């Protein structure tokens, strides 16, 4: 079969021949892959830099999930037991979701990672309740855009967003955001704007895709003065702006603050089952009825090497079609 293969961590994947995968487990199924999204997670794992990556010199097919056709003709989204940017892959029959009519392969393959990066944080870590105010730090990316829509879907009263591009931030008001804060302003102005927002409409939940300096500024804006404070749940989902921060102990003592992480290793088995059995089918149905929007850029698998590191603009997801 043809596949996108990495022969050494950190190198670009090659479009080449690779042995067909063989089903050797009763819980596994063979799938003919039609589309697989290229995510930051895939790139980090392929580079060997992600905490879930295994250091290896062995050739491997890239891609963690995708959409394809089972041998009985059923079209499904599934997590791959083997790499999914290939003509064929092995999947776990307990970790698949049927793709509804009206939902194209590219959208169905692009949506799940963004849903996992937003719904799991909102529902299971933050425990979002109707009427709450949500701040999304780094909302202009693919997952941030889904988080805006899901926060409102789950009942948020107000959604505040941050990002570097003001024009893009303005466009996200159409997706449901109520107010934006530009990251490129001075630190003092950024903190003061958030303090004013927090004073008028206390921020209940922070979904953070950036970490780094912007997270430090957000936390500083919450710092209390000894009075009673609103409980704020801060959920770290990504670290595009840096993996570490400086956090003052005074902030932790002066604010009713809860810190969480949301990602592989922090989710329970029960939550993963709920993602597959309940959340993704619900999100697929919303997307099929155009009530949940994600934008994609499609390339053919034969172009994987030159497309792997391209900067896809506008918060769109790169999808490989096979």
- pLDDT tens digit string along 299-321? 999 999 999 988 888 799 999 99
Residue 13, exposed/middle/buried by CB under 10 A (0-12, 13-18, 19+)? Answer: buried
In degrees, to the nearest 5, what angle opens at C-alpha 316 toward C-alphas 272 and 176? 75
The closest of 4, 110, 9, 107 to 50, measured between CA atoms, is 9
Element (H, E) at 247: none
Instruction: Give per-residue pLDDT as tens, 185-207.
Output: 999 999 999 999 999 999 999 99
Q: How many CB atoms lie within 10 A of CB 122?
A: 25
| DSSP state at residue 100 | P
Residue in the structure block whose two tokens are 């709920």:
274
Position 56 confidence tier, pLDDT thresholds 50, 70, 90: low
Sheet holding 232-236, edge to edge: 179-182, 158-163, 133-137, 205-208, 232-236, 257-261
Domains in the chain: ranges and CATH: 2-99+294-321 (3.90.180.10), 115-261 (3.40.50.720)
Confidence check: pLDDT of 54 > 90: no
**Taking residues 259-284, what's their average pLDDT?**
97
Residues of the chain above pLDDT 90, percent: 89
Q: Per residue in 291-310, is it b (16+ CB within 10 Å) or e — as a string? A: ebebebbbbebeebeebbee
The confidence band for 51, taking pLDDT boundaries of 50, 70 and 90, is: low
- Segment 170-179 mean pLDDT: 98
- Closest C-alpha to 298, from 282, 274, 322: 322
Region 269-278 average pLDDT: 97
Quote the tokens at residue 132.
Answer: 């709450």
pLDDT tens-digit profile of 30-39?
A: 999 999 999 9
How many Å apart are CA 78 and CA 280, to the nearest integer? 11
Q: What is the β-pairing status of strands 14-17 and 179-182?
A: unpaired
């Amino acid at each position: 079969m043809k596949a996108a293969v990495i022969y050494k961590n950190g190198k670009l994947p090659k479009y080449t021949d690779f042995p067909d995968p063989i089903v050797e487990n009763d819980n596994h199924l063979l799938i003919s892959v039609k589309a697989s999204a290229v995510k930051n997670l895939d790139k980090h794992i392929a580079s060997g830099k992600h905490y879930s990556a295994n250091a290896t010199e062995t050739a491997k097919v890239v891609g963690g999930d995708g959409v394809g056709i089972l041998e009985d003709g059923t079209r499904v989204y599934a997590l791959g037991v083997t790499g999914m940017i290939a003509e064929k892959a092995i999947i776990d029959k307990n970790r698949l979701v049927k793709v509804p009519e009206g939902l194209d392969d590219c959208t169905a393959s692009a949506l799940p990672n963004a849903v996992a990066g937003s719904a799991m944080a909102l529902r299971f870590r933050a425990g979002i309740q109707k009427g709450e105010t949500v701040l999304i730090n780094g909302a202009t990316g693919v997952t941030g855009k889904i988080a805006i829509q899901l926060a409102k879907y789950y009942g948020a009263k107000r959604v505040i967003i941050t990002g570097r591009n003001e024009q893009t931030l303005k466009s996200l008001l159409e997706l449901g955001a109520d107010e934006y804060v530009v990251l490129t302003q001075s630190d003092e102005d950024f903190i003061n704007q958030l303090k004013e927002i927090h004073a008028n409409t206390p921020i209940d939940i922070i979904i953070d895709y950036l970490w780094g300096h912007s997270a430090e500024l957000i936390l500083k804006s919450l710092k209390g003065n000894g009075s009673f404070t609103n409980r704020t749940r801060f959920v770290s989902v990504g670290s595009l702006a840096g993996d570490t921060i400086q956090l003052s102990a005074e902030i932790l003592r002066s604010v009713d603050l809860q810190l969480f992480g949301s990602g592989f290793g922090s989710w329970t088995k029960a939550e993963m089952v709920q993602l597959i059995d309940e959340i993704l089918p619900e999100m697929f149905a919303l997307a099929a009825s155009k009530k949940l929007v994600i934008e994609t850029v499609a390339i053919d698998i034969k172009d994987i090497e030159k497309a792997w590191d391209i900067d896809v603009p506008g918060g769109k997801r790169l999808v490989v079609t096979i």
